[in-house]
Structure 1
Amino acid sequence: MSDEEHQFESMANAVASKTYPQQAGTIRKGGHIVIKNRACKVLDVFTPSWIGRRHSHVKCHFVAVDNCNGKKLEDIVPSSHNCDVSNPLYTDYHLIDICEDGSVILLTEKGDIKDDLKLPTDDARLTQIEDGLLMDKELVVTVMSAMGEEQICAIKDISGTKLY
Protein backbone atom coordinates (compact mmCIF):
# COMPACT_ATOMS: atom_id res chain seq x y z
CA MET A 1 0.00 0.00 0.00
CA SER A 2 1.28 3.43 -0.80
CA ASP A 3 0.54 6.73 0.86
CA GLU A 4 -0.04 8.45 -2.47
CA GLU A 5 -3.21 10.37 -3.06
CA HIS A 6 -4.95 9.53 -6.28
CA GLN A 7 -7.06 12.12 -8.00
CA PHE A 8 -9.36 11.11 -10.79
CA GLU A 9 -10.66 13.70 -13.19
CA SER A 10 -14.05 13.11 -14.64
CA MET A 11 -13.89 12.35 -18.34
CA ALA A 12 -17.65 12.14 -18.70
CA ASN A 13 -19.54 14.51 -20.91
CA ALA A 14 -21.55 17.15 -19.04
CA VAL A 15 -24.60 16.18 -21.08
CA ALA A 16 -24.32 12.58 -19.97
CA SER A 17 -25.00 13.47 -16.34
CA LYS A 18 -28.42 14.87 -17.28
CA THR A 19 -29.51 11.68 -19.01
CA TYR A 20 -29.92 8.02 -18.19
CA PRO A 21 -29.65 4.91 -20.38
CA GLN A 22 -32.74 3.03 -21.53
CA GLN A 23 -33.08 0.11 -23.91
CA ALA A 24 -34.20 1.40 -27.34
CA GLY A 25 -36.94 -1.24 -27.66
CA THR A 26 -38.69 0.12 -24.54
CA ILE A 27 -38.89 3.76 -25.66
CA ARG A 28 -42.40 4.65 -26.82
CA LYS A 29 -44.22 7.48 -28.58
CA GLY A 30 -44.51 10.47 -26.25
CA GLY A 31 -41.34 9.52 -24.39
CA HIS A 32 -38.03 11.35 -24.40
CA ILE A 33 -34.75 10.52 -26.14
CA VAL A 34 -31.43 12.20 -26.91
CA ILE A 35 -30.61 12.42 -30.64
CA LYS A 36 -27.40 14.16 -31.76
CA ASN A 37 -26.88 15.53 -28.21
CA ARG A 38 -30.31 17.23 -28.28
CA ALA A 39 -33.16 16.47 -25.87
CA CYS A 40 -36.16 15.37 -27.95
CA LYS A 41 -39.72 14.17 -27.53
CA VAL A 42 -40.53 11.03 -29.50
CA LEU A 43 -43.22 11.57 -32.14
CA ASP A 44 -43.17 8.04 -33.54
CA VAL A 45 -41.27 4.75 -33.31
CA PHE A 46 -41.11 2.31 -36.21
CA THR A 47 -39.71 -1.21 -36.07
CA PRO A 48 -39.61 -2.25 -39.73
CA SER A 49 -40.05 -5.99 -40.16
CA TRP A 50 -37.62 -6.22 -43.08
CA ILE A 51 -34.68 -4.99 -40.98
CA GLY A 52 -33.01 -7.61 -38.82
CA ARG A 53 -34.49 -10.69 -40.44
CA ARG A 54 -31.30 -12.67 -40.80
CA HIS A 55 -28.29 -11.94 -38.65
CA SER A 56 -28.64 -8.35 -37.55
CA HIS A 57 -30.62 -6.82 -34.70
CA VAL A 58 -34.19 -5.59 -35.00
CA LYS A 59 -33.92 -1.82 -35.27
CA CYS A 60 -36.02 1.05 -33.91
CA HIS A 61 -36.48 4.07 -36.15
CA PHE A 62 -37.17 7.10 -33.96
CA VAL A 63 -38.80 10.28 -35.27
CA ALA A 64 -38.57 13.02 -32.65
CA VAL A 65 -38.79 16.78 -32.27
CA ASP A 66 -36.14 18.86 -30.52
CA ASN A 67 -37.55 20.29 -27.27
CA CYS A 68 -35.97 23.71 -27.72
CA ASN A 69 -35.90 24.55 -31.41
CA GLY A 70 -38.73 22.36 -32.73
CA LYS A 71 -36.65 20.70 -35.46
CA LYS A 72 -37.49 17.15 -36.43
CA LEU A 73 -34.70 14.60 -35.87
CA GLU A 74 -34.45 10.91 -36.73
CA ASP A 75 -32.27 8.05 -35.52
CA ILE A 76 -32.09 4.29 -36.09
CA VAL A 77 -30.87 2.18 -33.17
CA PRO A 78 -30.84 -1.61 -32.60
CA SER A 79 -33.69 -2.40 -30.21
CA SER A 80 -31.43 -4.24 -27.76
CA HIS A 81 -28.97 -1.33 -27.44
CA ASN A 82 -29.19 1.48 -24.90
CA CYS A 83 -30.09 5.06 -25.82
CA ASP A 84 -29.64 8.18 -23.74
CA VAL A 85 -32.94 9.47 -22.40
CA SER A 86 -33.38 13.00 -21.06
CA ASN A 87 -35.19 13.64 -17.82
CA PRO A 88 -37.15 16.88 -18.33
CA LEU A 89 -38.31 19.01 -15.41
CA TYR A 90 -41.44 21.16 -15.75
CA THR A 91 -41.85 24.35 -13.69
CA ASP A 92 -44.64 26.94 -13.69
CA TYR A 93 -43.88 30.68 -13.49
CA HIS A 94 -46.06 33.79 -13.57
CA LEU A 95 -45.32 35.90 -16.65
CA ILE A 96 -44.69 39.55 -15.78
CA ASP A 97 -43.38 41.20 -18.95
CA ILE A 98 -41.30 40.94 -22.12
CA CYS A 99 -37.94 42.75 -22.35
CA GLU A 100 -36.75 44.62 -25.44
CA ASP A 101 -34.00 42.04 -26.01
CA GLY A 102 -36.55 39.23 -26.45
CA SER A 103 -36.31 37.73 -22.98
CA VAL A 104 -39.21 37.29 -20.58
CA ILE A 105 -39.51 38.37 -16.96
CA LEU A 106 -40.96 35.60 -14.81
CA LEU A 107 -41.94 35.39 -11.15
CA THR A 108 -40.97 32.21 -9.30
CA GLU A 109 -43.06 30.50 -6.66
CA LYS A 110 -40.82 32.00 -3.94
CA GLY A 111 -41.28 35.53 -5.33
CA ASP A 112 -37.90 35.81 -7.05
CA ILE A 113 -37.44 37.26 -10.55
CA LYS A 114 -36.20 35.03 -13.38
CA ASP A 115 -35.13 36.95 -16.47
CA ASP A 116 -32.71 34.65 -18.31
CA LEU A 117 -35.24 32.93 -20.58
CA LYS A 118 -35.93 33.88 -24.20
CA LEU A 119 -39.32 34.07 -25.88
CA PRO A 120 -40.45 30.85 -27.60
CA THR A 121 -39.68 30.49 -31.29
CA ASP A 122 -43.07 28.92 -31.95
CA ASP A 123 -45.34 31.56 -33.54
CA ALA A 124 -48.50 30.31 -31.80
CA ARG A 125 -46.96 30.54 -28.31
CA LEU A 126 -45.34 33.89 -29.08
CA THR A 127 -48.66 35.34 -30.25
CA GLN A 128 -50.46 33.93 -27.21
CA ILE A 129 -47.95 35.61 -24.87
CA GLU A 130 -48.01 38.96 -26.67
CA ASP A 131 -51.83 39.05 -26.94
CA GLY A 132 -52.23 38.01 -23.31
CA LEU A 133 -49.98 40.82 -22.10
CA LEU A 134 -51.73 43.39 -24.31
CA MET A 135 -55.12 42.38 -22.85
CA ASP A 136 -53.74 42.43 -19.26
CA LYS A 137 -54.38 38.73 -18.72
CA GLU A 138 -52.66 36.88 -15.92
CA LEU A 139 -50.51 34.25 -17.65
CA VAL A 140 -48.66 31.27 -16.22
CA VAL A 141 -45.98 29.72 -18.41
CA THR A 142 -44.69 26.18 -18.06
CA VAL A 143 -40.94 25.96 -18.61
CA MET A 144 -39.37 22.65 -19.56
CA SER A 145 -35.75 22.20 -18.51
CA ALA A 146 -33.76 19.35 -20.06
CA MET A 147 -30.01 18.86 -20.48
CA GLY A 148 -29.20 22.39 -19.33
CA GLU A 149 -31.58 24.15 -21.72
CA GLU A 150 -34.89 25.78 -20.89
CA GLN A 151 -37.86 26.53 -23.14
CA ILE A 152 -41.42 27.74 -22.62
CA CYS A 153 -43.60 24.81 -23.61
CA ALA A 154 -47.10 25.88 -22.47
CA ILE A 155 -49.06 29.01 -21.57
CA LYS A 156 -52.15 29.15 -19.34
CA ASP A 157 -54.51 32.06 -18.77
CA ILE A 158 -55.51 32.14 -15.11
CA SER A 159 -57.24 35.53 -15.17
CA GLY A 160 -60.65 34.06 -14.39
CA THR A 161 -59.52 31.68 -11.64
CA LYS A 162 -59.43 32.62 -7.98
CA LEU A 163 -56.11 32.06 -6.30
CA TYR A 164 -57.44 31.98 -2.71
Structure 2
Amino acid sequence: MTDLDTDFTSGDAGASLTIPVQCSALRKNGFVVLKGRSCKIVETSTSRTGKHGHVKVSYICPSTHNIDVPNIKRLDCQLVGITDGYLSLLKDNGDLREDLKLPDGDLGKEIESKFESGGEFLVSVLSAMGEECPIAVKPMSS
Protein backbone atom coordinates (compact mmCIF):
# COMPACT_ATOMS: atom_id res chain seq x y z
CA MET A 1 0.00 0.00 0.00
CA THR A 2 1.13 3.52 -0.68
CA ASP A 3 0.91 6.40 1.73
CA LEU A 4 -1.35 9.07 0.27
CA ASP A 5 -0.48 12.69 1.04
CA THR A 6 -4.00 13.84 0.27
CA ASP A 7 -5.76 16.09 2.79
CA PHE A 8 -9.54 15.77 2.68
CA THR A 9 -10.25 17.83 5.82
CA SER A 10 -11.06 21.01 3.91
CA GLY A 11 -12.21 22.02 0.47
CA ASP A 12 -14.98 23.68 -1.42
CA ALA A 13 -17.93 22.56 -3.46
CA GLY A 14 -15.89 22.89 -6.64
CA ALA A 15 -18.13 25.57 -8.10
CA SER A 16 -16.46 27.70 -10.72
CA LEU A 17 -16.06 31.43 -10.13
CA THR A 18 -17.02 32.08 -13.76
CA ILE A 19 -18.95 30.53 -16.61
CA PRO A 20 -18.30 30.97 -20.36
CA VAL A 21 -21.06 32.82 -22.24
CA GLN A 22 -21.27 33.67 -25.92
CA CYS A 23 -20.64 37.39 -26.46
CA SER A 24 -23.87 37.81 -28.42
CA ALA A 25 -25.83 36.81 -25.27
CA LEU A 26 -24.41 39.64 -23.13
CA ARG A 27 -26.84 42.41 -22.14
CA LYS A 28 -26.75 45.81 -20.46
CA ASN A 29 -26.59 45.59 -16.62
CA GLY A 30 -25.06 42.12 -16.84
CA PHE A 31 -21.52 41.28 -15.73
CA VAL A 32 -18.32 40.11 -17.44
CA VAL A 33 -14.75 39.42 -16.34
CA LEU A 34 -12.22 41.90 -17.74
CA LYS A 35 -8.57 41.84 -16.66
CA GLY A 36 -9.44 39.39 -13.89
CA ARG A 37 -12.11 41.62 -12.30
CA SER A 38 -15.89 41.45 -12.35
CA CYS A 39 -17.29 44.41 -14.35
CA LYS A 40 -20.84 45.62 -14.93
CA ILE A 41 -21.93 46.12 -18.53
CA VAL A 42 -23.19 49.69 -18.91
CA GLU A 43 -23.63 49.63 -22.67
CA THR A 44 -23.35 47.24 -25.59
CA SER A 45 -23.28 48.00 -29.27
CA THR A 46 -22.72 46.33 -32.58
CA SER A 47 -20.23 48.25 -34.63
CA ARG A 48 -18.65 48.12 -38.03
CA THR A 49 -14.94 47.54 -38.31
CA GLY A 50 -13.00 50.67 -37.39
CA LYS A 51 -15.98 52.57 -35.94
CA HIS A 52 -15.49 52.75 -32.16
CA GLY A 53 -16.53 55.60 -29.88
CA HIS A 54 -15.02 57.04 -26.73
CA VAL A 55 -15.61 54.92 -23.57
CA LYS A 56 -14.01 54.37 -20.16
CA VAL A 57 -13.16 50.70 -20.77
CA SER A 58 -13.85 49.07 -24.06
CA TYR A 59 -13.72 45.40 -24.91
CA ILE A 60 -14.29 44.22 -28.43
CA CYS A 61 -15.29 40.61 -28.91
CA PRO A 62 -16.72 38.80 -31.94
CA SER A 63 -20.32 37.79 -31.19
CA THR A 64 -19.53 34.11 -31.79
CA HIS A 65 -16.70 33.99 -29.21
CA ASN A 66 -17.12 33.15 -25.54
CA ILE A 67 -16.28 35.43 -22.61
CA ASP A 68 -16.19 34.63 -18.89
CA VAL A 69 -19.14 35.82 -16.82
CA PRO A 70 -18.78 35.79 -13.01
CA ASN A 71 -21.14 33.85 -10.76
CA ILE A 72 -22.90 36.63 -8.84
CA LYS A 73 -24.61 36.28 -5.47
CA ARG A 74 -26.69 39.04 -3.88
CA LEU A 75 -27.40 39.08 -0.15
CA ASP A 76 -29.55 41.59 1.73
CA CYS A 77 -28.46 42.19 5.34
CA GLN A 78 -29.85 44.48 8.05
CA LEU A 79 -27.47 47.23 9.12
CA VAL A 80 -27.07 47.18 12.91
CA GLY A 81 -24.05 49.45 13.30
CA ILE A 82 -21.09 51.30 11.83
CA THR A 83 -17.76 51.06 13.68
CA ASP A 84 -14.47 52.62 12.53
CA GLY A 85 -15.63 52.69 8.90
CA TYR A 86 -16.87 49.09 8.88
CA LEU A 87 -20.49 47.94 8.58
CA SER A 88 -22.07 45.58 11.14
CA LEU A 89 -24.55 43.52 9.14
CA LEU A 90 -27.05 40.96 10.42
CA LYS A 91 -27.64 38.09 7.99
CA ASP A 92 -30.92 36.16 7.66
CA ASN A 93 -29.54 33.22 9.65
CA GLY A 94 -28.68 35.49 12.61
CA ASP A 95 -24.93 35.66 11.96
CA LEU A 96 -23.26 39.04 12.38
CA ARG A 97 -20.57 40.12 9.97
CA GLU A 98 -18.32 43.12 10.50
CA ASP A 99 -15.77 42.77 7.71
CA LEU A 100 -17.21 45.03 4.99
CA LYS A 101 -16.01 48.61 4.71
CA LEU A 102 -18.44 51.48 4.45
CA PRO A 103 -18.35 52.34 0.73
CA ASP A 104 -16.97 55.67 -0.46
CA GLY A 105 -19.03 58.28 -2.26
CA ASP A 106 -22.77 58.81 -2.35
CA LEU A 107 -23.72 55.29 -1.25
CA GLY A 108 -21.57 55.52 1.88
CA LYS A 109 -23.06 58.92 2.75
CA GLU A 110 -26.58 57.57 2.21
CA ILE A 111 -25.93 54.57 4.47
CA GLU A 112 -24.48 56.80 7.21
CA SER A 113 -27.31 59.32 7.10
CA LYS A 114 -30.04 56.65 7.16
CA PHE A 115 -28.32 54.88 10.06
CA GLU A 116 -27.93 58.12 12.02
CA SER A 117 -31.62 58.95 11.50
CA GLY A 118 -32.53 55.66 13.20
CA GLY A 119 -34.26 54.01 10.29
CA GLU A 120 -34.20 50.26 9.75
CA PHE A 121 -33.05 49.22 6.31
CA LEU A 122 -31.20 46.55 4.37
CA VAL A 123 -27.82 46.81 2.68
CA SER A 124 -27.48 44.77 -0.52
CA VAL A 125 -24.10 43.05 -0.82
CA LEU A 126 -22.89 41.67 -4.13
CA SER A 127 -20.39 38.77 -4.13
CA ALA A 128 -18.35 37.80 -7.18
CA MET A 129 -15.01 36.05 -7.65
CA GLY A 130 -14.10 36.17 -3.96
CA GLU A 131 -14.86 39.89 -3.56
CA GLU A 132 -17.82 41.47 -1.81
CA CYS A 133 -19.15 45.01 -1.99
CA PRO A 134 -22.19 46.88 -0.67
CA ILE A 135 -24.08 48.18 -3.70
CA ALA A 136 -27.45 49.52 -2.51
CA VAL A 137 -29.77 50.25 0.39
CA LYS A 138 -33.47 49.50 0.58
CA PRO A 139 -36.23 49.69 3.21
CA MET A 140 -37.01 46.72 5.44
CA SER A 141 -39.91 44.67 4.11
CA SER A 142 -42.65 43.94 6.64
TM-score interval, normalised by the smaller of the two chains:
0.7 to 0.9
Higher relative contact order (CA 8 A, sep 6+): 2
| Mapping 1:3-152, distance limit 5 Å | 17-50=16-49, 72-100=56-84, 102-121=85-104, 123-152=105-134
1-structure distance, mates of 2:20, 2:123: 30
Shift of 1:132: 0.9
Bigger strand fraction: 1
SS in 1 for 2:38: strand
CA distance in 1, matches of 2:91, 2:30: 27
Tell me if structure 2 keeps the 8 A contact 1:93–1:106: yes
1:35-79 deviation digits (Å, cap 9, x = unpaired): 11111111111221235xxxxxxxxx9x7xxxxxxxx53211122
For residue 124 of structure 1, give the secondary structure of its aligned residue in structure 2. Answer: helix
Superposition RMSD in Å? 2.6
% of aligned pairs identical?
39
SS across alignment from 1:142: strand
The number of aligned residues is: 130
Runs of 4+ that moved beyond 4 A: none
Amino acid at match of 1:85: V
Instruction: Return the TM-score normalized by structure 1.
Output: 0.70
Q: Using the alignment, how far apart are the partners of 2:63 and 2:33 within structure 1?
A: 15
Please, which runs of 5 or more residues in structure 2 have no aligned partner? 6-14
State the partner residue of 1:12: none
